[in-house]
């Protein structure tokens, strides 16, 4: 009986997915190149990780809420990362786009619900595109409430 319970618990945890304080996605590129003078391969890490909140942002019609997206970069990331924010219907976001570099660890943004925004669930789509390598996408969940 205990074995059955353990197996069911493991399946439930696996189905729930990773647990944490945000939704992280990794983009960019990582590869190995031959080192100088036969010293073996050298790993080039031009990856980045973008983490958005996994909590729903509650906003009343006509109001705004601040949130942020955090970033970390691989040791060899040296280009720009273009972040594009695309708000759902009835929402606006500031900024809409932002170019980041490896020294930028956070992007602060303000989400505003129009006075006439429909009540209910909406989202802000976030796309981060490096100069080379894989782009990543995520969403910030928003719940619009009656003012």
49: nearest Cα among 17, 91, 14, 81: 81
Number of domain units in the chain: 1
CATH for 91: 2.60.40.10
> Has residue 68 been placed in a domain?
yes
> Has residue 13 been placed in a domain?
no
> Has residue 117 been placed in a domain?
yes
pLDDT per residue as tens digits for the range 108-123: 999 999 999 999 999 9
Neighbours of 94 (CB within 10 A): 13
Q: Which domain holds residue 61?
A: 21-32+41-145
pLDDT per residue as tens digits for the range 38-78: 667 788 899 999 999 889 999 999 999 999 999 999 999 99
> Has residue 15 been placed in a domain?
no
Structure pTM? 0.77
By the 8 A CB rule, do 126 and 141 touch?
Answer: no
């Amino acid at each position: 009986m205990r074995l059955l319970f353990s197996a069911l618990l493991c399946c439930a945890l696996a189905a729930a997915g990773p647990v944490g304080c945000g939704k992280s996605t990794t983009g960019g590129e990582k590869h190995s190149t031959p080192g100088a003078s036969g010293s073996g391969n050298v790993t080039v890490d031009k990856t980045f990780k973008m983490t958005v909140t996994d909590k729903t942002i509650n906003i009343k019609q006509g109001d705004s809420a601040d949130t942020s997206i955090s970033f970390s970069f691989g040791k060899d990331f040296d280009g720009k990362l273009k972040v594009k924010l695309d708000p759902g219907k009835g929402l606006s976001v500031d900024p809409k786009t932002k170019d980041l570099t490896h020294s930028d660890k956070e992007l602060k943004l303000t989400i505003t619900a129009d006075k006439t925004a429909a009540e209910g669930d909406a989202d802000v789509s976030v796309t981060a595109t490096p100069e080379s390598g894989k782009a990543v996408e995520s969403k910030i969940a928003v719940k619009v409430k009656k003012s």
